[in-house]
Structure 1
Amino acid sequence: MPERLTETLMDLWTPLIILWITLPSCVYTAPMNQAHVLTTGSPLELSRQSEDMRILSRSKRGWVWNQMFVLEEFSGPEPILVGRLHTDLDPGSKKIKYILSGDGAGTIFQINDITGDIHAIKRLDREEKAEYTLTAQAVDFETNKPLEPPSEFIIKVQDINDNAPEFLNGPYHATVPEMSILGTSVTNVTATDADDPVYGNSAKLVYSILEGQPYFSIEPETAIIKTALPNMDREAKEEYLVVIQAKDMGGHSGGLSGTTTLTVTLTDVNDNPPKFAQSLYHFSVPEDVVLGTAIGRVKANDQDIGENAQSSYDIIDGDGTALFEITSDAQAQDGVIRLRKPLDFETKKSYTLKVEAANIHIDPRFSSRGPFKDTATVKIVVEDADEPPVFSSPTYLLEVHENAALNSVIGQVTARDPDITSSPIRFSIDRHTDLERQFNINADDGKITLATPLDRELSVWHNITIIATEIRNHSQISRVPVAIKVLDVNDNAPEFASEYEAFLCENGKPGQVIQTVSAMDKDDPKNGHFFLYSLLPEMVNNPNFTIKKNEDNSLSILAKHNGFNRQKQEVYLLPIVISDSGNPPLSSTSTLTIRVCGCSNDGVVQSCNVEAYVLPIGLSMGALIAILACIILLLVIVVLFVTLRRHKNEPLIIKDDEDVRENIIRYDDEGGGEEDTEAFDIATLQNPDGINGFLPRWGLPTQRWEERNAIQTGCV
């Protein structure tokens, strides 16, 4: 490549050098007022400069050149002549010296101080620095005095095509939906060229595809990539590699190029229906499987991915639609068949279902291809299992009268083994529900009998549990609740609802209601209680009282006359017969006690005692109680006063006539008889003068007493 570039530059440079050699004879010498003339030595501008010089010569005007050009990347055997400095003040005596300063002066650019020729002594790179600003000055060769003010000029580096295009953001990735129409835009790419975009075609790029056809195309100037084939199928091929080239020089021969890669991925659309892996599925399930248990799974495969592959499952037909259900597993993308209702092998041994899988998300662009769903057949075989006994009813309700005889049958439960190989059943009572063992059951036929008497008034309901057990397999048991209701019989006679006590005023009036009573019956007749009241036959013609039945099933006792006197008779007893309406009816006699009392004028009872009759008339019971309390309080005060007075006059020491003597006796178990008995007189404690003295005791021998006295005094 360098050799080729050198040959090209030399071919262009040779005629320009020849033209430049002829220039001195054509240069116009400006008048003295012109500072200097800068003659460019750029090979590309020499012809243009020569023509301008001729025009200047004809117009007799002075030109000041302030811009020179140098070609980049030139590396010849000699330094490159950029241009020549020349001043009109030069008489040709060689007494003028040219000085160059500024960017790159002395390092990149060198001047011949006599001739003013400027050479580039290093290879230049426009992409590194595009122009240099320098200052030229003419001075006296001997004195170095400036002949004119300094003049600034620019040396521009001319571009050559030495940089290839680059894709700075590559490699690229893009997506496009599958089944897209022809010419669908995929993406666009961009390459850059470091060469000068305004000079020649070095930076003019043209794009093309080296690999990736016939699937994709690219716009040569905009680099927009489009689909070149319609309806590309992701399920056939999902990813494509496209190699893209950018070439400068407008794509012509001799231009430089750069490449990059583009990976195009086809995104999925729902263009495929679900499809069952098999058309017939077989499952088996025990008949005693728990409700909600998963029996099996069916799966419809979909070539699409993501939500486009999601399907919902349904049971659309079959003889087990009521017993089974199917749900969709979003994770596994399959259908789970579950049991909804219990199975019975003895009733039906197999079921057939028709299941359907349908896409959830439908793309309307592809609906014309047909329904996005599929169906399959599922056969479910029920397997026999050893089931527990089954009672003929989930609960039992039995009734028994409370006077039923012991061992009488009050009801029966039945159960069977639902298995084909039926096993005999034995019945029993769960004794945790019959702690008092009031009932028994026949183990073979399930008849329940009465073991103890029942009393409805104590308990109306009895709830027990019956257990049925297979004889061949004791682990197979079932339980059923049995509620036993005790029915009422008329076995309780009515009686007063409470203990009544009536009060009759002495000044009462005939026909006055003395007391109203009601009755109660522990029995519970179906139509409610209805009581009959009557007096004993011998008291039907009672001269003092009579009775009256009320509508509310109660009874009122009335006085027949007035003028009752509690001094003559304080209490009356009235026996009343109460009968119920049972079958047979029962009755009892309750006696009402009626007391005669003294009452106020308005009928308020004041006293019912005979003694109170002699009290002054008009004195109330409250007043009498207050008077009695005052009397008792006075008596207590008097007794306390007398007692305190007596204790105040008693002496501290007991007098002789009041002396109470007491003997303290101590027995010596080792001795025998009276001689070992020591008695101390309590009077010693009352007589301080005799504490240290010796008092002989009655019945103690003199010798023994003297010995003891010696021991007490310390003389042996």
Structure 2
Amino acid sequence: MKLGKVELCHFLQLVGLFLCFSGTSQAEPPRSRSKLYFQSGRSRTKRSWVWNQFFVLEEYMGSDPLYVGKLHSDVDKGDGSIKYILSGEGASSIFIIDENTGDIHATKRLDREEQAYYTLRAQALDRLTNKPVEPESEFVIKIQDINDNEPKFLDGPYTAGVPEMSPVGTSVVQVTATDADDPTYGNSARVVYSILQGQPYFSVEPKTGVIKTALPNMDREAKDQYLLVIQAKDMVGQNGGLSGTTSVTVTLTDVNDNPPRFPRRSYQYNVPESLSVPSVVARIKAIDADMGVNAEMEYKIVDGDGLEIFKITADKETQEGIITIQKELDFEAKTSYTLRIEAANRDADPRFLSLGPFSDTTTIKIIVEDVDEPPVFSSPLYPMEVSEATQVGNIIGTVAAHDPDSSNSPVRYSIDRNTDLERYFNIDANSGVITTAKLLDRETNAVHNITVLAMENQNPSQVGRGYVAITILDINDNAPEFAMDYETTVCENAQPGQVIQKISAVDKDEPSDGHHFYFSLTTDTTNNHNFSLKDNKDNTASILTRRNGFHRQEQSVYYLPIFIVDSGSPSLSSTNTLTIRVCDCDADGVAQTCNAEAYVLPAGLSTGALIAILACVLTLFGALCNLHKC
């Protein structure tokens, strides 16, 4: 009969188990007085129960039930009077027993990884009485392991990183394979690791599964990723062992081992002189093979003739050097600039400084292009002054502008009428002389801000703007007047010398040394017997009473002309009339009523006539009272 490889393996293991248990049962005496014997395989050796344990090889693939062992009782004479029964785990479903002979067989393929052993109970019964002839005993059927499980990487596939340029032997990652076979029996679960793909760059330690670098100076810029295939093989890697594999993706992480380099040794840029501050003149970029923070650069101008004109900064996103102007360019002053630019890494790795400086330089030449520029005024602002008394046509001042281009075109002047809507001023188109076109009034507009336009004769589209601030100087052309409309009252019981009003004055002019007013009564009222005026010498005056006994019935309103003079040169004066009303006042001098009409007698009636009328009214009232018996 020709046996296959698997059948031969099972056969040899059964032979080994048979020899093992035969030797054990011959070498050791029974430890109990049990009369129930167990025979493993086909051996007839008497075994004590406590020593008995059956072994069954897992994964048996034969067509017939697998013989496990035999039960036999001393009382069994072979006449069929004894029957054997089996109970416990797997009895009848997995394990069966010949009740006459006591032979035990396994009817199903067993897997140690699913269940490693089964605990059963055996009993011998009298066939006629069905009573036990032996005490029930317990035994174990252990499933003998075979190498039927390959190692597995439960955490794979793996990813890992290691810095580029790492020395040989740098640990990268540890891989672990597990084998479901019995680690206590043979070498079925003893795993060794090997590398199938990834040499000569990496290696793996056979026992631990630690992956290490195997080549020095691995350069990320040359190759940044490696795919490794790691094998785990059981049976200590011997022939016939089972194996499993996993993949490991190793990425070389960047270190700063590359300096920046400019692609060109020199650059040239043309820019117009009209470029505004701080416009971008140029963008340059040094190339760095590193990445991330290791490729971040700083730029600076290390030499050149435009250090005060230009500035360079680094763009954080693009790592470009951005050159901007800090001062206006002037083609007529300088037509070109030369700059030497340096690019350097921020944080160079000290290990690689021996490779050379971690910086590079290049030369930038900036050509300034001529632009037809508008005329430029000699001053950004022209302050001028003129008296408000000046005559029409008088000169106020002069502005001057010139063409900054080399052509030096003549210019013509004009006033932007949007800034001089009333056309107070004129300007000579050729000379820039500004004159008055109308009479000026400081009190209407104290400052005139006008814009003067300067236009090139050859190119009228080129227009420059100058700014003129004309301050109108004050003259004393406004007389003083009352500061407000006063409501002045005098009590009927006022006493002589009592102040009834304090007045002040205002003047639209603004003398340089401040206002000073003088107050007095007009000449025609200086000798009146009712009121007097006192100048307080502080730009105010007080009005006082000169008598007592003011009566509304006699005169309810007084008009007092007051003369006010300012301190201008020449001085101006005005007469302002103060209206004074006579009022009935309480004891505290507070006016109660100033209405005089209720006290005025009807025209043509004397006091005696009024008394006679009153007597008649009283007589009439008494007669009416008697009539009605009141």
User: What TM-score bracket applies, with the shorter chain setting the length?
Assistant: 0.7 to 0.9
Q: What amino acid sits opposite 1:320 in the alignment?
A: G
Alignment match, 1:384: 370
Does the Cα contact within 8 Å between 1:126 and 1:159 map onto a contact in 2? yes
Alignment match, 2:36: 36
Cα deviation for residue 406 of structure 1 reads: 3.3
Does the Cα contact within 8 Å between 1:531 and 1:581 map onto a contact in 2? no
What is the rounded CA distance, in whole Å, between the counterparts of 1:431 and 1:230 in structure 2? Answer: 82
Does the Cα contact within 8 Å between 2:31 and 2:50 map onto a contact in 1? no
Alignment match, 2:203: 217
- Higher mean alpha-carbon deviation, 107-116 vs 337-346, is at 107-116
1:97 aligns with 2:83: yes
- Alpha carbons of structure 1 residues 456 and 120: separation in structure 2 relative to 1, 3 Å: closer
What is the rounded CA distance, in whole Å, between the counterparts of 1:362 and 1:149 in structure 2? Answer: 86
Report the secondary structure of 2:86's partner residue.
strand
**How do residues 129-208 of structure 1 correspond to structure 2 at under 5 angstroms?**
129-142=115-128, 144-208=130-194
1:337 aligns with 2:338: no
Cα deviation for residue 430 of structure 1 reads: 1.8
Specify every segment of 5 or more residues in structure 1 that has no aligned partner in the other structure, as ranges: 57-61, 510-514, 558-570, 596-603, 605-620, 643-716
Does the Cα contact within 8 Å between 2:517 and 2:564 map onto a contact in 1? no
Does the Cα contact within 8 Å between 1:456 and 1:488 map onto a contact in 2? yes
Q: What amino acid sits opposite 2:312 in the alignment?
A: I
Does the Cα contact within 8 Å between 1:164 and 1:257 map onto a contact in 2? yes
Does the Cα contact within 8 Å between 2:280 and 2:324 map onto a contact in 1? yes
Q: Deviation per CA, 1:31-52: give whole Å up to 9, x if none.
A: 9x7441112228xxx6xx95xx
**How do residues 530-679 of structure 1 correspond to structure 2 at under 5 angstroms?**
582=569, 627-628=599-600
Cα deviation for residue 22 of structure 1 reads: 13
Q: Deviation per CA, 1:541-574: give whole Å up to 9, x if none.
A: x9xxxx99998799999xxxxxxxxxxxxx9x99
Alignment match, 2:5: 4
- Higher mean alpha-carbon deviation, 6-15 vs 113-122, is at 6-15
Does the Cα contact within 8 Å between 1:36 and 1:64 map onto a contact in 2? no
What is the rounded CA distance, in whole Å, between the counterparts of 2:25 and 2:288 in structure 1? Answer: 88
Q: Quick one: which of 427, 431, 455 aligns to 2:417?
A: 431
What is the rounded CA distance, in whole Å, between the counterparts of 1:215 and 1:256 in structure 2? Answer: 26
Specify every segment of 5 or more residues in structure 2 that has no aligned partner in the other structure, as ranges: 528-532, 544-557, 581-588, 618-630
What is the rounded CA distance, in whole Å, between the counterparts of 1:71 and 1:577 in structure 2? Answer: 138
- Alpha carbons of structure 1 residues 296 and 100: separation in structure 2 relative to 1, 3 Å: same
What is the rounded CA distance, in whole Å, between the counterparts of 1:330 and 1:137 in structure 2? Answer: 88
Alignment match, 1:298: 284
What is the rounded CA distance, in whole Å, between the counterparts of 1:77 and 1:592 in structure 2? Answer: 145
Q: Deviation per CA, 1:486-525: give whole Å up to 9, x if none.
A: 3456778999999999x9xxxx99xxxxx99999987766
Alignment match, 1:512: none
Does the Cα contact within 8 Å between 2:49 and 2:137 map onto a contact in 1? no
What is the rounded CA distance, in whole Å, between the counterparts of 1:84 and 1:360 in structure 2? Answer: 84
Report the secondary structure of 1:148's partner residue.
coil
1:446 aligns with 2:432: yes
- Higher mean alpha-carbon deviation, 414-423 vs 315-324, is at 315-324
- Alpha carbons of structure 1 residues 394 and 82: separation in structure 2 relative to 1, 3 Å: same
- Alpha carbons of structure 1 residues 345 and 143: separation in structure 2 relative to 1, 3 Å: same
Q: What amino acid sits opposite 2:123 in the alignment?
A: Q
Alignment match, 2:73: 87
Does the Cα contact within 8 Å between 2:519 and 2:562 map onto a contact in 1? no
Cα deviation for residue 157 of structure 1 reads: 1.5
Report the secondary structure of 1:454's partner residue.
coil
Report the secondary structure of 2:114's partner residue.
coil
- Alpha carbons of structure 1 residues 34 and 471: separation in structure 2 relative to 1, 3 Å: same
Q: Deviation per CA, 1:399-430: give whole Å up to 9, x if none.
A: 33444443333222111121223333221112
Does the Cα contact within 8 Å between 2:18 and 2:40 map onto a contact in 1? no
Q: Deviation per CA, 1:64-122: give whole Å up to 9, x if none.
A: 55421122234457544321111011234343232334444445434333332223344
1:419 aligns with 2:420: no
Q: How many residue pairs are counted as aligned between the two chains? A: 583
Q: Deviation per CA, 1:154-213: give whole Å up to 9, x if none.
A: 211211222221222222111112222332221111111121111111111111222223
- Alpha carbons of structure 1 residues 169 and 29: separation in structure 2 relative to 1, 3 Å: closer
TM-score by length of 2: 0.75
TM-score by length of 1: 0.67
- Alpha carbons of structure 1 residues 321 and 258: separation in structure 2 relative to 1, 3 Å: same
Cα deviation for residue 465 of structure 1 reads: 2.0
What is the rounded CA distance, in whole Å, between the counterparts of 1:159 and 1:430 in structure 2? Answer: 109
Alignment match, 2:547: none
- Alpha carbons of structure 1 residues 84 and 476: separation in structure 2 relative to 1, 3 Å: same
Does the Cα contact within 8 Å between 1:202 and 1:248 map onto a contact in 2? yes
What is the rounded CA distance, in whole Å, between the counterparts of 1:581 and 1:16 in structure 2? Answer: 141
Q: What amino acid sits opposite 2:68 in the alignment?
A: V
Q: Deviation per CA, 1:266-285: give whole Å up to 9, x if none.
A: 11122222222222222121
1:346 aligns with 2:347: no
Does the Cα contact within 8 Å between 2:49 and 2:139 map onto a contact in 1? no
Q: Cα RMSD (Å) of the superposition?
A: 5.4
Report the secondary structure of 2:4's partner residue.
helix
- Alpha carbons of structure 1 residues 289 and 145: separation in structure 2 relative to 1, 3 Å: same
- Alpha carbons of structure 1 residues 226 and 523: separation in structure 2 relative to 1, 3 Å: closer
Cα deviation for residue 6 of structure 1 reads: 2.6
- Alpha carbons of structure 1 residues 252 and 579: separation in structure 2 relative to 1, 3 Å: closer
1:238 aligns with 2:239: no
Cα deviation for residue 11 of structure 1 reads: 4.8
Q: What amino acid sits opposite 1:36 in the alignment?
A: L
What is the rounded CA distance, in whole Å, between the counterparts of 2:478 and 2:50 in structure 1? Answer: 150
What is the rounded CA distance, in whole Å, between the counterparts of 1:262 and 1:126 in structure 2? Answer: 32
Does the Cα contact within 8 Å between 2:233 and 2:242 map onto a contact in 1? yes
Does the Cα contact within 8 Å between 2:337 and 2:365 map onto a contact in 1? yes
- Alpha carbons of structure 1 residues 122 and 9: separation in structure 2 relative to 1, 3 Å: same
What is the rounded CA distance, in whole Å, between the counterparts of 1:248 and 1:423 in structure 2? Answer: 98
- Alpha carbons of structure 1 residues 377 and 2: separation in structure 2 relative to 1, 3 Å: farther
Cα deviation for residue 575 of structure 1 reads: 13
Does the Cα contact within 8 Å between 1:39 and 1:65 map onto a contact in 2? no
Does the Cα contact within 8 Å between 2:73 and 2:134 map onto a contact in 1? no
What is the rounded CA distance, in whole Å, between the counterparts of 1:333 and 1:470 in structure 2? Answer: 45
Alignment match, 1:250: 236
- Alpha carbons of structure 1 residues 368 and 490: separation in structure 2 relative to 1, 3 Å: same
- Alpha carbons of structure 1 residues 146 and 447: separation in structure 2 relative to 1, 3 Å: same
Cα deviation for residue 591 of structure 1 reads: 12
- Alpha carbons of structure 1 residues 197 and 590: separation in structure 2 relative to 1, 3 Å: closer
Report the secondary structure of 2:450's partner residue.
strand
Alignment match, 2:548: none
- Alpha carbons of structure 1 residues 388 and 94: separation in structure 2 relative to 1, 3 Å: same
Alignment match, 1:266: 252
Cα deviation for residue 579 of structure 1 reads: 10
Alignment match, 1:481: 467
Q: What amino acid sits opposite 2:335 in the alignment?
A: K
Alignment match, 1:692: none
Report the secondary structure of 2:5's partner residue.
helix
1:393 aligns with 2:360: no
What is the rounded CA distance, in whole Å, between the counterparts of 1:183 and 1:22 in structure 2? Answer: 51
Q: Deviation per CA, 1:117-153: give whole Å up to 9, x if none.
A: 2233444332233223333222334554443343332
What is the rounded CA distance, in whole Å, between the counterparts of 1:439 and 1:429 in structure 2? Answer: 8
Does the Cα contact within 8 Å between 2:395 and 2:433 map onto a contact in 1? yes
User: More helix per residue: 1 or 2?
Assistant: 1
Q: What amino acid sits opposite 2:126 in the alignment?
A: D
- Alpha carbons of structure 1 residues 27 and 243: separation in structure 2 relative to 1, 3 Å: closer
- Alpha carbons of structure 1 residues 629 and 69: separation in structure 2 relative to 1, 3 Å: farther
**How do residues 309-324 of structure 1 correspond to structure 2 at under 5 angstroms?**
309-324=295-310
Report the secondary structure of 1:275's partner residue.
coil
Does the Cα contact within 8 Å between 1:533 and 1:579 map onto a contact in 2? no
Cα deviation for residue 2 of structure 1 reads: 8.2
